Every structure is written in structure tokens, then in C-alpha cells.
Amino acid sequence: GHHCWGYGEENGPSDWYKDYSLANGDRQSPIDIQSEQTVYNSSLKPIWVSYDACTSLSICNNGHSVMVEYEDCDDKTVIRGGPLEFPYRLKQFHFHWGGKDSRGSEHTVNGKSYPGELHLVHWNAAKYKSFDEAASAPDGLAVLGVFLETGEKHSVLHRLTDALYMVRFKETKAQFKDFNPSGLLPDCLDYWTYRGSLTTPPLHESVTWLMLKEPLYLSEKQMEKFRTLFFSGEEEGLRTRMMDNFRPPQPLKGRTVEASFR
């Protein structure tokens, strides 16, 4: 519509229902994960990430987040296992973060927010012909989510945070080759899983969520680099810093969150 959705006072998450009726749907994301209410499922398989042959293409600021895009023309970069019946192809990863460390993640755990959250977005190319078609199918997408927590500098992430100056403004893009995102994953792949949605418009209810229990640790300096990005384009007068680009937790509506671990 004439004014695009965003995270501001006028176009933020509490306004999205006006243009996107799914906002009040039965399987919306993110959610607050109440660990005592999760159900351990011993038949859940381990998550199996095969990213070694990945082809990263570019890093870009799309006005909502910063993302790294991958070549997804074959099954060389997939996630398998967990609750998934098919391999899902990595399309891109991106982040959500806060203006300060007390907020920023989309999912919360027992009401606790993290400073940020990494989303690795995958699609079911075994059943669907394109990402766009999969994005509106109930089993179309699988998003692997990793909480960001401040601590020691993250050496693999450092290559990305050092590249952010190239994409400060909306619609900017730069080459970003040979970046294997498995280096961003914690050692422990214990996860919670539930059926949910995109956390941005159009809010399609097409995502099998896999939220890792273990966070990715990064330094405060690396967190600050995310906050140097802008929602706005270089030509726009008002430069609004990209931060607090997260949707708050949505009603569980009777869903069960399963745990791969006791």
C-alpha cells in the first residue's frame, strides 16, 4: 500500500493486521517459549546441516534487516532431520536486533528477550517449484533460529560485521562470497520446534520453526555494528537507524512446542 509496513510508530507490528489479516491467525510467530510447558519428543531426529558446498552471493540491506543470500538452484546447501520430512534449501539468513541488549530477539524464553536473533531461512524444494510458492505453503519453509547473546567476539561473524559498512542504507548490496553459515552455529544443536509463520508481512503460516537452545555469542562492539545500519535509503532526508526490527511474541493458540532434549 501507499505506506509500507515497518517497525515504526505508524507502521509497526501492532498495525500489520490492517493490511495483513493473518496477523491474528492461529499459527503466528514468534512466540514465548515456556520451557516447562515444552514436550520432550524422543523420536525427533537431530538437525543435520549440510552447508559445506554453499555458494553465498551477496549481503544486502532490504530496509527491514541485513541478509546474506545463497544460490539455491540445487540441493547443495540444505537442512535435514529434526521434524522435517524433506531436505529444505538455504535461501538466505538475516538478523533481528534491539536498540540495546535488553531487547531484540523475536522469540523469547520464559519471558526473556535476547539482544538479537539469527534466522536461517530454508524452503521445501522437494515439493515446491520456487521459494515464493513454498513461502505460502503450510510445509513450505523451515527457519533455523539462533539467539544472539553478548560475550566474547565471534570470529566467524566478524567477517559479516566488518562488511556492514558496505550496506548501511536500504536497497544497498555488496558481493559476499564463500561465507559458510555453519560457522555461526553453536556446538550444541538441541532445539525447540513448533509450527508457525513468517515474522514479517505477509505473515504466511508456512514455517516449521527450529529454535536452538544455545545462543551465538558476539561482542558488544559487534552488536553495535548492527545498530549503525539504517532502515532508510541514502537519499532520504531522515536517517532512521535500523534497530528494534523484531515482532513481539504472539498467542500460542493451543500449539505444542516440542523439545529435542530433556
Enter the DSSP assignment of 35: G
Q: Which helix (H) or strand (E) holds 123?
A: strand 116-123
Q: Which is nearer to Zn ion, 92 or 124 (CB)?
A: 92
Sole binder of Zn ion in the list 119, 122, 204, 213 (CB under 5 A) = 119
Does residue number 200 form part of the binding site for ligand 7QS (CB under 6 A)? yes
The closest residue (CB) to ligand 7QS is: 198
Task: Establish if 184 lies at the interface with ligand 7QS (CB under 6 A).
Answer: no
Length of the chain: 262
Gyration radius from the chain CA atoms? 17
Cis peptide before 202 (omega within 30 of 0): yes
Q: Does 61 bind ligand 7QS (CB under 6 A)?
A: no
Q: Quick check: 195 and 259 in contact, CB under 8 A?
A: no
Q: What is the DSSP track for 206-220?
A: -EEEEEESSPEEE-H
Catalytic residue among 64, 94, 119, 122: 64
Q: Which stretch binds Zn ion (CB under 5 A): 10-18, 115-123, 221-229, 250-258?
A: 115-123
Closest approach of Cβ 117 to ligand 7QS, in Å?
Answer: 9
* Nearest residue (CB) to Zn ion, 107 versus 213: 107
Answer yes or no: 64 catalytic: yes
Q: Does 60 bind ligand 7QS (CB under 6 A)?
A: no
> Is the C-alpha dihedral spanning 158, 174, 128, 29 positive or negative?
positive
Using CB under 6 A as the binding rule, the residues of this chain from 124 to 163 that contact ligand 7QS are 143
Q: Which does 198 bind (CB under 5 to 8 A by kind): Zn ion, ligand 7QS, none?
A: ligand 7QS
Question: Per CB under 6 A, which region of 12-20, 53-61, 176-184, 194-202 contacts ligand 7QS?
Answer: 194-202
Q: Could you tell me which residues come within 8 angstroms of residue 184 by beta carbon, excluding any fewer than 6 positions away?
A: 93, 118, 146, 154, 156, 157, 216
Of 132, 140, 168, 143, which is closest to residue 60 (Cα–Cα)?
168
Report the nearest approach of ligand 7QS to the CB of residue 237 (Å). Answer: 26
> How many C-alpha atoms does 163 have within 13 Å on its Cβ side?
19
Minimum CB separation from ligand 7QS for residue 215, in Å?
A: 17
> Using CB under 6 A as the criterion, which residues of the chain lie in contact with ligand 7QS when the complex forms?
65, 119, 121, 143, 198-200
Q: Which residues have a catalytic role annotated?
A: 64
